[in-house]
Structure 1
Amino acid sequence: MAVPSSPDDNNHLHKELQPFYETCQPGSLYKFYIGIADEAEEGVWVNINSQKQIVYDNFRASHPRGGRIHNCGHIFPGGDWSDTSCATELCGTCHVDRSEFLYLRGLCFPTEQKMYFRLGGYIEGRPLFRGYFDLIILWEDISLRWLLKSIENNVTMAWFSPHERHHYPIGRHTWTTGDLVCGFHSGTDIALSLSSCPHDMFTCKSGFCLDQRYRCNFRYECLDGSDEDDCGVVVIDSSYRRHLPPRGPQDTTLLLTPTLTLTRIAGIDDISMAVDLEFIVSPTWRDDRLSFNHLHPNTNTLILEEEVKQIWTPKYQLVNLEGGQYELLDETMVVTTSNLPSLPDFNAAKRDFVYPGASNNLSIIHQYTARFTCAFDLYVYPFDVQVCSIDLRLPWTYNDIVEFSRTGGVGSYTGQRDLSLYTVKNVRLNSESGPDQLSLKFELHRRGGLVLLSTFVPSVLLLLVSWATLFVKQEALNVRAIMSLTTLLVLYTLFSNLSSSMPNTAAIKLIDIWFFLIILLLFFNIMVHIFVEFLVHRCSQSTEGAPETIKVSPFGRVFVQRETSTARVERIVSTYRTYIFPPTFLISTVTLGVMMFLI
């Protein structure tokens, strides 16, 4: 707000306001506010811009009138001041720091000096904008429009009709050519801007100057919201061909720098040997045929969908899909850098920075969900480690034109590491198969605790139950046989359930060897129970008489005792359950464990 600080300032302000007295509040003596108020303390008038008490005033005699309502200052048509209510609708008097130039942009001036304009008086109550050479901009009251004219030949080069009579040509507006101008025929609409904004600042439609970092940041910074208009990122030349891939530096093969991110392992199907995955594929490249606008430092700049359809993007195939089916969840394209910005030609009305495509990275982000095959190796189950992968391949049409970069690629996993049956480890990117192929490999380490509790522990307990039958009296053959057979049946049921939860393979697994060992020991226990008495009886008949045992008492008496069949059976069973069965189980278990460890 304007605040005169001396009689000269007040006279100058009064003179500048003369053309507008009939425009502001016609028929009223109250025309213009000035930037003073005594709202904080009655009678103490302060500059509302600096909040400092004024040192000069030009109040009319018997004014200010004072009171709790009249707290704002205004200037009469004669130049003296008074107070009035701050709610009164008056025009404002503004003090504008004088800039060196106004710039007229949007034409084809051969030199920058041609676009310089300045205020040069008033015509028909409106300011006259005078160019430093032969151009002027003035108001034509008859046609209600602003004219851009050449003084040299008195030709109207262009004209602008404001929506409201009191609007000015400051800012960015659409002008209509009145003659052949810069290759535009008469009647052509062109965009021109007239403002004091320097070359490196954005000009709002209103003429307000805005720092470039606020341009297209999804927030209105210009009062008219024009900073969020025309926010396209990609600048495409007319010679651009979307179906042709760009060339690499110095006309070499284009290298795609891949980023593969495994975000979630949704399921692992041991039977079908497949894994359900959610993942992101994001190749990065540069296209020197493009230019960019509105890039922001330290953040990715989103490219709109309609722009993506106009430029080349890399194609690739997901190789190891089960059934060849996948679902694309999301597709986003961004510019990930903001290198080497430059200003457009000084004539350009659009003052957005231009970023060369040869120096800035493009990246397209595809988010998928799909089911992949995985060759499970279950030889050392349940201590197995499965190596699965997401395999990509470039189409054959890219041979010697587009390749995967062998350096700089990134592979990662962002999901939960510990799954219900597996732990995810060693996620890595593998490009050793060729320049047109790429794999994201990851290892699934089976969590053996559950399998140990559900398989090994029950099988060992069943084996102990079968071994315990060797301590039952020989007369109770039915008890011994039924218990042994029951343990064998339960163990076989356990083995069948485990086998049904694993894929059918021709290869023998260590878990199969373990169950075979346990079943074999149970089988031998049953055989001992059934045939030991029969074998002892046959052996007794084939020898002459029963074996004799000679015992000597402490008193010197000698006894000759013959071993009965029952005692002989018990001795054989005792020897088997003590010296044959436990060592056989321990040696077999240790051997199997060493095999698992070595593999």
Structure 2
Amino acid sequence: MRTRNETQAPGLGSVRNMSVSVVVCVSFILVGAPGLCRAWIGSDNTGLAFQAENQLTQDSHASLQLSPPPAPTQPNITDLSVCLWLKVLHFRETSSYVFSYATTDKDNNELNLGIKSELILMAIGGKYLYGTMVSEKFVPDSWYHICFVVNSTKETGTFFVNGEMLNELQLTARNILLNGTLVLGQESDKVGGGYVAEQSFSGIVTDFNLYSRSLSEEEVWEMAKCEVGGQEAGLEGDLVSWTSTDWILTGPVTQHDLTPQYCSQDRHRFVVFTQQRNREDNEEFCQSLKSNLGVPHNDEENTQLYEAVVPFKDQCQPHNHASAIFLLGAVNKPTEGKWFDYEGKMLNYTNFDTDQPLKSTRCVGFLTPPAQGKWTDISCKQSIKFCAACHQRGHPIVLRMRGLCEQDVISSYFRIEQQHGKVASLRGFTKYYISSDDNATWTLFNMWTDEVIANTLVHHVDLPLGRRQWRVANNFALCGQSEGEMHTLSLSACHEETEFACGDGTCIQLPQRCNMRVDCPDNTDETGCDKLILPEEYLKDLPPPALTPGPLALSLVTSLQGISEVDIVNMKLTVDFQTIITWFDQRLTFQNLKQFSDLNYLRTDSVWTPMVDFVNADFPETYTTNAILKVLRESNPEPDDITRPQHDEVFQGSKNPLQRRQKVSAPFSCKMDLRNFPFDSQQCHLHLRLSSANQEFLVWQNLSVEYLGEVLLTEYQVGVVTGEVRQAEGYSQVTVTINFQRRYSYYFTSAYLPIVMLMFISYASLYCPRDNMDLRVMMALTTLLVLFALYQQISDTLPRTSYVKAIDIWCFFAITFIFSQVVLHVAIDVRLPCLRRLRSAPSSSKVKILDTKRRSGSVLVAARVLYALVLLVFCVTYWGILLS
């Protein structure tokens, strides 16, 4: 702690202001307010406490009248620095102004410093600059060293917190007149007045100094670390010096005696809790408060903790242990023979009564009075329960209460405080206070209005942690509820952005909420996990309005899983497919959505869902699975609503779409053109119509069609699959088109090739001996019968059509081809019997018989050539036309 020479001369203007201060004080006394105004001069070890009891008043301030210095000093300044130590006790809902400086009623923002939990604001010559806290926020009951340095050469204004630069901002050089009123604890709207209670400061100020120059970073750092000081070091303010300036105190402003602790940001804080627990439960309790099981690290801390424990010795004495009354957060490791603290670090300080041998699995605690803070080793058994203290380094333990219906987030924060000999209480960052007189009933109190807000009955607990029912004590004092009504409030130390508070006040990571795994000790992380927040005015029979003017657009993904059957006889196509419909319903709100959408299911009957009509499907044979409805998380959650008792991530329906999935197996009618059968290509359509409302309200958009099944079917090969949005009878309709190419290899091997073989067999009959009538006729006739049977078999598998198919032409030609050969053989055979009878005739007739045989042979030769030509011409013509 640095020291100052208290005999130094006052800063410029201080002596001249003494008479002014006296006159001001006398004026207060004359108007009947003696005691409200008094003169005061600071010192190294004193500070001024403003509104320590959180009175919320405009009458609490310390003022100082500055006067221009004598020549040759300039009556105004451009470079300046202001530094001070402060401890906030309570924030205001707007800004807490630590000091203000006004030269005229118009120029009342010449030099103002205000703070919020997350930023500092500084007014210089009417212009406000803002320094945002990045790594941490301001916490009440913690000391901070703040400096603001104006450099006119660089034209910058720089914020420093605890010696470190917060940010440096551009600031045009301005002249600040030295003829105004400087006020601590209030924001001036005019010279020496115009105060607003809601902008006042509740806290402690010390070491306030105002300089007419720009301090260097090194000087600021040295002051913040209390390494140097004193006016002889040049670090006392030349315009305002804390140790030599006389202030006029008005209203609830008291002198606060300081200790060197305010220069140390690493001091230890202990809070004693009188509920007896075993070591493991004590550790978990402190961890739920974001603190650790308390253990002293030096004599000072040991004395401080022991004196805080002594008033509770009767409550904390366990019934099954006589020598110790209080558990400390230290444990030994027998293999090393040393004691370690809660962080696993070896303790450099112990205070055992005697040198005791270390035993395995031993803990440590305070000996029963009057041992005066001596330690003893104790058993860590679960059956032995002790009181314990939770320990926090630097800042106090901070809790947060949800459900207060306060618009200002800072009003939901509390810090744990403990007065000597009393149980811990909770002091709000702004206006609330929670305390218990009988360790059973906890009361929520409004310090600003001086009224009880609510109370809750909780037996034998150190703090009313977790979600609890509070009874409203005054009409409309809590969320507009009437007196006697129950209201849920949740108190925990959980991080506001990343953690969820279980029902008992323990904390888990927010993504663990509603993840189908129990993480809270009381299972409350998996209760109330309904994803839907349905407004009372919601009408699920009406389609939602569009996000933009016009009809609501629904996206459709049609995934064809496969084609079960292509029925060419009945001209039907049986398709297995899945429809995925996505749309936004801005009327809805969701909560606790996960990136893995399978955890975001909704009941299909809980909200509006679109109806899809399969226009050309055979409905008696249509099969559908139960539709699956879920929400897709596509946005970040909305800002946390602290008025809700539970921290549930909330998502807007306008940013996160609904998705409906359903599998369908249905036969669709398909108009097939079989003229080129079996070398035909087919095109079938699936018509999906939005039947919930006409296209003035609903339209298909962002269509996607994909085929995931086998490409090679039994008879067909699946080609291109496309989709198109159309209008049909005033409704929006999607037409999915499937192209097929028949696989003709089956028909080629089972129909065309056998028929060709039969024609060749029949044709071979033309090469049989002329006089072997039975062989020639039977060959042709048999092939004709086999061909007819084959044709009949093929025809039975084809639909009856009014047109001739390609395979019909082929079969008809083959039948005609073979039938004509049968007729030819019969005609030739009619003449051969006559030739046989002529063989027995006189030799004079043999010349005629030979002529007849020659003519029959020439007929067969001609037939062979003719049939070959006919077959060749037909094949060329048939396949040429068919394949083209």
- TM-score normalised according to structure 2 size: 0.59
Contact 2:579–2:662 (CA under 8 A) maintained in structure 1:
yes
**3-state DSSP class of the match of 1:440?**
strand
2:601 paired residue among 303, 328, 341: 303
Q: Distance in 2 between matches of 1:571 and 1:429?
A: 65
What letter corresponds to residue 474 of structure 2 in structure 1? Answer: D
The equivalent of 1:250 in structure 2 is 548
**3-state DSSP class of the match of 1:282?**
strand
1:292 paired residue among 576, 590, 594: 590
The equivalent of 2:471 in structure 1 is 176
The equivalent of 1:120 in structure 2 is 417
Q: Distance in 1 between matches of 2:338 and 2:789?
A: 101
Q: Distance in 1 between matches of 2:852 and 2:376?
A: 138
The 3 A distance-change label for structure 1 pair 581 and 251 is same
The equivalent of 2:438 in structure 1 is 141
What letter corresponds to residue 575 of structure 1 in structure 2? Answer: A
1:584 positional shift: 2.0
**Identical aligned pairs, as a percentage?**
27
Deviations 1:380-402 (CA, angstroms, capped at 9, x unpaired):
22222222222112238424111
The equivalent of 1:200 in structure 2 is 497
Structure 1: stretches of 5+ with no match in the other structure = 540-559
Matches within 5 A, 1:91-170: 91=385, 93=388, 94-96=390-392, 98=395, 101-109=398-406, 111-121=408-418, 126-141=423-438, 144-150=440-446, 155-162=451-458, 165-166=460-461, 168-170=463-465
2:778 paired residue among 455, 458, 482: 482
Q: Distance in 2 between matches of 1:528 and 1:595?
A: 30
Q: Distance in 2 between matches of 1:594 and 1:99?
A: 95
Establish whether residue 62 from structure 1 lines up as the match of residue 355 from structure 2: yes
The equivalent of 1:11 in structure 2 is 303
Q: Distance in 2 between matches of 1:494 and 1:288?
A: 65
The equivalent of 1:187 in structure 2 is 484
What letter corresponds to residue 244 of structure 1 in structure 2? Answer: L
Contact 1:35–1:49 (CA under 8 A) maintained in structure 2:
no
1:48 positional shift: 5.9
1:320 positional shift: 0.6
The 3 A distance-change label for structure 1 pair 16 and 562 is farther
Deviations 1:226-255 (CA, angstroms, capped at 9, x unpaired):
222222222222232222212223331111
Deviations 1:234-278 (CA, angstroms, capped at 9, x unpaired):
222223222221222333111112111111322232222212222
The equivalent of 1:576 in structure 2 is 863
The 3 A distance-change label for structure 1 pair 474 and 253 is same
2:558 paired residue among 254, 257, 260: 260
The equivalent of 2:767 in structure 1 is 471
The 3 A distance-change label for structure 1 pair 110 and 47 is closer
Q: Distance in 2 between matches of 1:95 and 1:246?
A: 54
Deviations 1:484-525 (CA, angstroms, capped at 9, x unpaired):
211111111111111111222222110111111111111122
**3-state DSSP class of the match of 1:461?**
helix
The equivalent of 2:877 in structure 1 is 591
Matches within 5 A, 1:190-229: 190-201=487-498, 202-229=500-527
The equivalent of 2:711 in structure 1 is 417
Q: Distance in 1 between matches of 2:666 and 2:486?
A: 52
Deviations 1:204-235 (CA, angstroms, capped at 9, x unpaired):
22333444333322223333332222222222
The equivalent of 2:113 in structure 1 is none
Matches within 5 A, 1:554-573: 564-573=851-860
Q: Distance in 1 between matches of 2:327 and 2:687?
A: 73
2:577 paired residue among 270, 276, 279: 279
Q: Which moved more, 1:104-113 or 1:503-512?
A: 104-113
Q: Distance in 2 between matches of 1:24 and 1:473?
A: 130
**3-state DSSP class of the match of 2:401?**
strand
1:130 positional shift: 2.1
The 3 A distance-change label for structure 1 pair 31 and 273 is farther
Contact 1:103–1:195 (CA under 8 A) maintained in structure 2:
yes
**3-state DSSP class of the match of 2:424?**
strand
Deviations 1:147-200 (CA, angstroms, capped at 9, x unpaired):
3234567654323334x6336312222323233232212332222112233432
Q: Distance in 1 between matches of 2:807 and 2:675?
A: 8
1:34 positional shift: 4.1
- TM-score normalised according to structure 1 size: 0.85
Contact 1:124–1:139 (CA under 8 A) maintained in structure 2:
no
**3-state DSSP class of the match of 1:250?**
coil
The 3 A distance-change label for structure 1 pair 561 and 282 is same
Contact 2:532–2:588 (CA under 8 A) maintained in structure 1:
yes
The 3 A distance-change label for structure 1 pair 432 and 75 is same
The 3 A distance-change label for structure 1 pair 414 and 20 is farther
The 3 A distance-change label for structure 1 pair 210 and 260 is same
1:2 positional shift: 3.8
The equivalent of 1:542 in structure 2 is none
The count of aligned residue pairs is 568
The 3 A distance-change label for structure 1 pair 297 and 196 is same
The 3 A distance-change label for structure 1 pair 195 and 65 is closer
Q: Distance in 1 between matches of 2:732 and 2:519?
A: 47
Contact 1:427–1:443 (CA under 8 A) maintained in structure 2:
yes
Q: Which moved more, 1:393-402 or 1:372-381?
A: 393-402
Establish whether residue 89 from structure 1 lines up as the match of residue 395 from structure 2: no
The 3 A distance-change label for structure 1 pair 169 and 412 is same
The equivalent of 1:528 in structure 2 is 824
**3-state DSSP class of the match of 2:822?**
helix
Contact 1:31–1:75 (CA under 8 A) maintained in structure 2:
yes
Contact 2:726–2:732 (CA under 8 A) maintained in structure 1:
no
**3-state DSSP class of the match of 1:53?**
coil
The 3 A distance-change label for structure 1 pair 17 and 269 is farther
Structure 2: stretches of 5+ with no match in the other structure = 1-292, 836-846
Q: Distance in 1 between matches of 2:308 and 2:705?
A: 69
The 3 A distance-change label for structure 1 pair 575 and 49 is farther
Contact 1:390–1:440 (CA under 8 A) maintained in structure 2:
yes
1:70 positional shift: 4.3
Q: Which moved more, 1:22-31 or 1:448-457?
A: 22-31
The 3 A distance-change label for structure 1 pair 520 and 40 is farther
Contact 2:560–2:577 (CA under 8 A) maintained in structure 1:
yes
Q: Distance in 2 between matches of 1:381 and 1:116?
A: 81
1:43 paired residue among 320, 334, 337: 337
Runs of at least 4 residues off by over 6 Å: 535-539
The 3 A distance-change label for structure 1 pair 531 and 80 is farther
Contact 1:466–1:483 (CA under 8 A) maintained in structure 2:
yes
The 3 A distance-change label for structure 1 pair 23 and 323 is same
**3-state DSSP class of the match of 2:469?**
strand
Q: Distance in 2 between matches of 1:507 and 1:259?
A: 38
1:290 positional shift: 1.8
What letter corresponds to residue 423 of structure 1 in structure 2? Answer: Q
